[in-house]
Structure 1
Amino acid sequence: MAAASGLTRATVSALVDDLIAGSLLTEVEPAPRTGAGRPAAGLRLAPDGPAGVGLEINVDYRAACVADLTGRVRHRLVEPGDQRPDDAATALAGISRLALQARRLAEADGLTVAGVALAVPGLVAGDGMVRVAPNLGWHDVTVGDLADGLPVTVDNEANLAALSELAAGGLPPSFVYISGEIGIGAGIVLDGALFRGARGWSGEIGHLAVDPDGPPCRCGARGCLEQYAGQEAMLRAAGVATVAELTGADLTTAGRALGTAIAAVVNLLDIGTVVLGGIYAPLLPLLRPAIGAEVDRRVLTAEWSPVELRAARLGPDAAMRGAAGAVIRSVLEDPAGWLGRA
């Protein structure tokens, strides 16, 4: 570390001592000696230091998880149930209760919760206000305190899921993550960084029109992708009641709609990898033929640079894990700030 930073060994030792005292680093067995002098101590992130609580409100469930500084998920809580009958205040009270439960579990493990982050399926302003979440019926919702005074951040669920998949590794630096639930969202990662757009509202792929004369959407437009490839649309078209039953259904219509939307995104952004998450991940073998046919037909560069379709690695937990990861990342990016708070 001294060699990489250009700082003296004494300075690095003093800084490391502070980080160890603040439960951000812990020592491990030293690396094999490679020269004269005292062997250097090995270091790693402290698994018993600060932790993040990640929360998610989606249309048919709410969820929470606790992740430690290494990214390991220590606790996972999921409560299925339709959130649409509840107004925003009732839904937030429910997720607050789940956040407090997660905090108690973390503290029982000896972890200090550094903050909470909430993933929502909607447009989130820079100040954390949820401007609109069409599938929840939310408009201009201020989230407020969720876990007894802990810092709270709010972000779009597809953005957080994309960051979570990026952190899991194995992806190129630029890709689009598409979250398939009752609503459909996208997280756009360019050169290893999330692309938010000028106002932070990029990624609303679910409201790309795949048929301008199609059925009405909750957003007020017609023929949106969600009306063909959203969870409820797919169940309705297949005549089944559960996502599990879709594994035996014909998903050609949904796949063609997805392929049309994906081709538009690829033509616009010149991205070669698309990661399908949410319910799309397990259904990708059934969706792939129709998606692939539309992408090959519509993407101008498909002949020379085929688009790679991948299933998300983290499945339905990606958004809440990304939310917990956002808290952890804030600590790692500003350790001095955390030490000052702690």
Structure 2
Amino acid sequence: MVASRGVRHDSMRARNLAVVLGEIHRSGPHTRAALAELTGLTKTTVSSLVADLLEAGVVTERGAVRGGERGRPGVAVSLSGHRVVTLGLEINIDYLAACVVDLTRTVRLRRTRPADNRNSDPEHILHLLRDLAKETIAEAEADGLRVIGAALAVPGTVEGETLRSAPHLGWRDVRVGDLVDLPFAIDNEANLAALGELWFGARETDFLYVSGEIGIGAGLVVAGSLFRGTFGLAGELGHVVVVPDGPACRCGGRGCLEVYAGQDTLLGKLDSVSELVSRLESGDRRARETCERAGHALGVALTSAVHLLDPGMIVLGGVFAPVFPWLEGPVADGLGTRLAHMRGAPPALVVSGTGPDAAVLGAAGMIIQRIIAEPAEVLGLQ
């Protein structure tokens, strides 16, 4: 497939920078000569653009690959992980997290602070997160890295730079856009976790990511892109009804998946997920029965999701990842029984490849994607 063609006009320099960097990101490393052929730009233009990208620290030239002049080996241009990095941040119910990721998607720093953020004071929590971000940025800069931008994952609905509703935090209409003095973005935790799984978990391009936390969210990735829905609210799997006359849910309904398979239900009186895993490994009957009930409810909800969305794969993440060995059977049995009438096998059920880091990695990855798509604007190469 031929790559997007560049435009030979000085006024389109920003576009051409994106074309060249995008080709390096998508299929590199390449020689300058190969980049000229792939993009349709002249060799002189490509050399000038590569020089700008080298100076900005987003690419590097080294080694030898095929594609030089007249078949001779040429110097390879590839993404650089030595200078430009992005910052991912996350507010979870019981911790704050930050990670620094370079353009090769290598994690350079990872910091987590335990915290009880339920029904919390937004100003206090954002102050703690701001301090964590500043400390993480300072540590990255001390290593010679340049933090270009940041994104934040939150357990709630987002509009612009405002967190509209995060019921488990007890927050409504909280502006977080001035959290750091960097280009900044904010998105729902499940959305960013799905993107983290796509970019860092080496998944197929079509899958449904299920984020098991106190609430249960989902992110649908189609053809390598996140499906958000008309108002950005797609993925509220936790409020799919699995038992119509079941217990009351915080949303006002009854019998929602969250009541049966959310983190609070799975843990019960236990203090942590690691304690639950220890009980499961030791054969504790009550812990195993709790997981079996949760898996059954999850199978019911996912059956509806499969009927509606037809994903090629279902990825279980969040709290579901460490207990996957005990959830997999009940969920798979439920899917298999309810989908037996469909042609072909049910979608593959797999555990997250990014574990608890999915959302914070997706946040950092969002800024990496912006750099690739708009290097002139994001890096100041005007």
Matched ranges for 1:153-164 at <5 A:
153-164=185-196
Give how far 1:341 is off.
6.1
Aligned to 2:75: 41
Name the SS for the 1:216 alignment partner. Answer: coil
Give the Cα separation in 2 of the matches to 1:204 and 1:39: 52
Matched ranges for 1:1-342 at <5 A:
1-32=35-66, 36=70, 39-125=73-159, 127-147=160-180, 149-168=181-200, 170-236=202-268, 240-247=270-277, 248=280, 249-250=287-288, 251-299=291-339, 302=342, 304-340=344-380
Name the SS for the 2:65 alignment partner. Answer: coil
**How big is each residue's C-alpha offset from its partner over 1:109-157, in whole Å with a ceiling of 9 and x where there is no partner?**
11111111000011112x122111111111111113112x212210011
Give how far 1:180 is off.
0.9
Give how far 1:305 is off.
2.6
Give how far 1:67 is off.
0.7
Give how far 1:252 is off.
1.0
**How big is each residue's C-alpha offset from its partner over 1:88-120, in whole Å with a ceiling of 9 and x where there is no partner?**
221111111111111111111111111110000
Give the Cα separation in 2 of the matches to 1:34 and 1:27: 13
> Which residue identity does 1:183 align to in structure 2?
G
206-215 vs 321-330, which deviates more? 206-215
> Which residue identity does 2:99 align to in structure 1?
C
**How big is each residue's C-alpha offset from its partner over 1:149-182, in whole Å with a ceiling of 9 and x where there is no partner?**
2122100111111111111354222110011122
Give the Cα separation in 2 of the matches to 1:35 and 1:100: 47
**How big is each residue's C-alpha offset from its partner over 1:188-225, in whole Å with a ceiling of 9 and x where there is no partner?**
10111100000111111111121232222222322221
CA contact (8 A) 2:208 2:221 kept: yes
> Which residue identity does 2:81 align to in structure 1?
P
CA RMSD, Structure 1 to Structure 2 (Å):
1.8
Give the Cα separation in 2 of the matches to 1:48 and 1:205: 40
CA contact (8 A) 1:296 1:302 kept: no
Give how far 1:37 is off.
7.3
Name the SS for the 1:28 alignment partner. Answer: strand
Name the SS for the 1:86 alignment partner. Answer: coil
Name the SS for the 1:116 alignment partner. Answer: strand
Unaligned runs of 5+ in 2: 1-34, 281-286
CA contact (8 A) 1:47 1:69 kept: yes
CA contact (8 A) 2:220 2:226 kept: yes
Give the Cα separation in 2 of the matches to 1:270 and 1:300: 14
Give the Cα separation in 2 of the matches to 1:62 and 1:339: 28
Give the Cα separation in 1 of the matches to 2:45 and 2:272: 59
Distance 1:142 1:34, change over 3 A: closer
Give the Cα separation in 2 of the matches to 1:115 and 1:101: 15
Count of aligned pairs between the two proteins: 338
User: What is the TM-score normalised by the length of structure 1?
Assistant: 0.94
Unaligned runs of 5+ in 1: none
**Identity score, percent:** 48
User: What is the TM-score normalised by the length of structure 2?
Assistant: 0.84
Distance 1:245 1:32, change over 3 A: same
Give how far 1:330 is off.
0.8
Distance 1:302 1:312, change over 3 A: farther
Give the Cα separation in 1 of the matches to 2:341 and 2:126: 45
246-255 vs 162-171, which deviates more? 162-171
CA contact (8 A) 1:135 1:218 kept: no
210-219 vs 108-117, which deviates more? 210-219
Name the SS for the 1:144 alignment partner. Answer: coil
Give the Cα separation in 1 of the matches to 2:179 and 2:135: 11
